[in-house]
Amino acid sequence: MLRIEAAMLKPHLGWSGFKDQLKSSLLQARISLNTWETEAANHPSWGKVIHFGYSTLEGRRKPKEEAKRRQCKTWQFQPRPSPTLPCDQCLRLFHSHLAF
């Protein structure tokens, strides 16, 4: 019986993430979760709300992305430290310990 119930619920579970994604997108754009449906009913004002929310979202996102890119570039150009671990047999220096 559990398999039949799971098969019946499977299509409904596909939509479960939609509302979560909608809520997170509305919160990121600083649109009220309580009044967004009434604002969406008035099409001209909803367009303004979406445009303003998107511009604030992009304004907050871009500096974070720029900082992330700068940090990646600084890690990329740092010199690698010289090897310090000697091999017992050949006396070559290695960066990490080799375990057998």
pLDDT by residue, tens only, the chain of 100 residues: 456 665 655 665 565 667 778 888 888 888 888 988 898 898 888 889 989 988 888 899 999 999 999 988 887 777 888 888 888 888 888 877 766 6
Q: CB burial class (10 A; 0-12, 13-18, 19+) of residue 16?
A: exposed
- Cα 66 to Cα 70: distance, rounded to the nearest angstrom: 6
Say what the pLDDT of residue 94 is: 85
Say what the pLDDT of residue 97 is: 74
Say what the pLDDT of residue 1 is: 45
- Cα 49 to Cα 35: distance, rounded to the nearest angstrom: 11
Say what the pLDDT of residue 79 is: 80
